[in-house]
């Protein structure tokens, strides 16, 4: 019976694979419109995660959501920077 899960999870986490090689990053060739859309989506997600973090009463549950918001904001910055370079 075939298994559909990844057998060697090290490939998924950028750890060295057989022979000491690493998995290379994929180069994305996105148009200006696609970059703008992706950046806008990331900004929206950052806002939503930030709002979710504010609503949570348990203070130990806030940091992961705040970290997510920061990650989305950083990704939006990266996408906007890539768009400006074109």
In a domain, 52, yes or no: yes
Percent over 70 (pLDDT), the chain? 72
pLDDT digits (tens, 9 = 90+) for 15-47: 555 556 676 777 778 899 999 999 999 999 999
The domain in which residue 43 lies consists of: 29-85
In a domain, 35, yes or no: yes
Answer yes or no: are the C-beta atoms of 65 and 53 closer than 8 Å: yes
In a domain, 55, yes or no: yes
The total number of structural domains in the chain stands at 1
3-class DSSP string for the chain = CCCCCCCCHHHHHCCCCHHHCCCCCCCCCCCHHHHHHHHHHHHHHHHHHHHHHHHCCCHHHHHHHHHHHHHHHHHHHHHHHHHHHC
In a domain, 20, yes or no: no
Overall pTM > 0.75: no
Could you identify the residue written with the tokens 């696609």?
Answer: 34
Q: Say yes or no to pLDDT of 61 above 70.
A: yes
pLDDT at residue 24, rounded to an integer:
73
């Amino acid at each position: 019976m075939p298994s559909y899960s990844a057998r060697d999870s090290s490939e998924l986490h950028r750890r060295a694979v057989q022979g000491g090689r690493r998995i290379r990053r994929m180069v994305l060739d996105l148009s200006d419109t696609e970059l703008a859309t992706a950046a806008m989506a990331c900004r929206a997600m950052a806002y939503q995660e930030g709002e979710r973090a504010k609503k949570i009463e348990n203070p130990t549950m806030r940091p992961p959501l705040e970290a997510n918001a920061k990650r989305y904001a950083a990704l939006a910055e990266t996408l906007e920077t890539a768009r400006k370079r074109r």
